[in-house]
A and B are shown apart, each in its own frame.
Chain A
Amino acid sequence: EPEVTQTPSHQVTQMGQEVILRCVPISNHLYFYWYRQILGQKVEFLVSFYNNEISEKSEIFDDQFSVERPDGSNFTLKIRSTKLEDSAMYFCASRDRGVGNYGYTFGSGTRLTVV
């Protein structure tokens, strides 16, 4: 079964440093997403991406965040200057168009720890 792959599985970074979280969505999917989950809390939407541009973003997704699809396979989330409160699990998801459950598939996540 096709998977969404995320790397690394765990990233530790110092406050103020830049991090890039990487995702390889399912190859024929058209829509891409980042979500985050602070420990013990619910999953929160960050941003959606379609046709090489952001289609929607949440209040969390401020100027410190950016997304990119640098080639035909990767989808990245960059945090320019990490803060302690950015510590969370970050999930990438992708979906096809018009499939029953939208074909929404989540990756296993990257645990980001900011120290």
Chain B
Amino acid sequence: GESVGLHLPTLSVQEGDNSIINCAYSNSASDYFIWYKQESGKGPQFIIDIRSNMDKRQGQRVTVLLNKTVKHLSLQIAATQPGDSAVYFCAENISRQGGKLIFGQGTELSVKP
């Protein structure tokens, strides 16, 4: 069943370390995935996306990995900085069905200086 608790998974890392945030998506028909960063009191902010015909995509300091076999996404942040502290959500989309995004639960990243 769906979790309705108030506690997000938390990842705590030291500044300069690499972070890996994981996400299990729900629908095997999803073909487009986005990672969002959400800071307190703000809306989701786009980080990086990937289509299902890829298994890896790199951006500036971030990499997204997609494993369709087990319906798993990960976000890797290199050289994590205090400004990376936020809640990170993955979102999935079935592109032929329109732009609705289905969000995952979210992970709170805390970066210690």
* Partner of A91 from B6, B43, B106 at Cβ < 8 Å: B43
Provide the A12-51 mask, 1 if CB < 8 A to any CB of B, else 0: 0000000000000000000101010001111111001000
Chain B residues, CB < 8 A from A95: 99
Chain A residues, CB < 8 A from B42: 108-109
B103 touches A42 (CB 8 A): yes
Does A65 sit at the interface, judged by CB under 8 A?
A: no
B102 touches A55 (CB 8 A): no
Does B109 sit at the interface, judged by CB under 8 A?
A: no
Does B100 sit at the interface, judged by CB under 8 A?
A: yes
CA of A83 to CA of B34, assembled, Å? 32
Chain B residues, CB < 8 A from A44: 103
Chain B residues, CB < 8 A from A45: 100-103
Closest CB in chain A relative to B51 CB, distance in Å: 9
B41 touches A108 (CB 8 A): yes
Interface size on A, residues (CB 8 A): 26
Interface of chain A residues 64 through 97 with chain B (CB within 8 A): 91, 93, 95
Q: Which residue of B lies closest to A105 (CB)?
A: B46
Interface of chain B residues 7 through 66 with chain A (CB within 8 A): 7-8, 34, 41-46, 49
Q: Which range holds the interface residue count of chain B?
A: 20 to 34
Chain A residues, CB < 8 A from B100: 33, 45, 48, 56
Chain B residues, CB < 8 A from A102: 93, 99
Q: Show the binding face of A for B, using Cβ within 8 Å.
A: 4, 31, 33, 35, 39-45, 48, 55-56, 91, 93, 95, 100-102, 104-109
**Known pairs A39-B6, A104-B46, A108-B41 / 18 extra A-B pairs, C-beta < 8 Å:** A33-B100, A40-B7, A40-B8, A41-B4, A41-B6, A41-B105, A42-B105, A42-B106, A43-B101, A44-B103, A45-B100, A48-B99, A56-B97, A93-B43, A95-B99, A102-B99, A104-B101, A106-B45
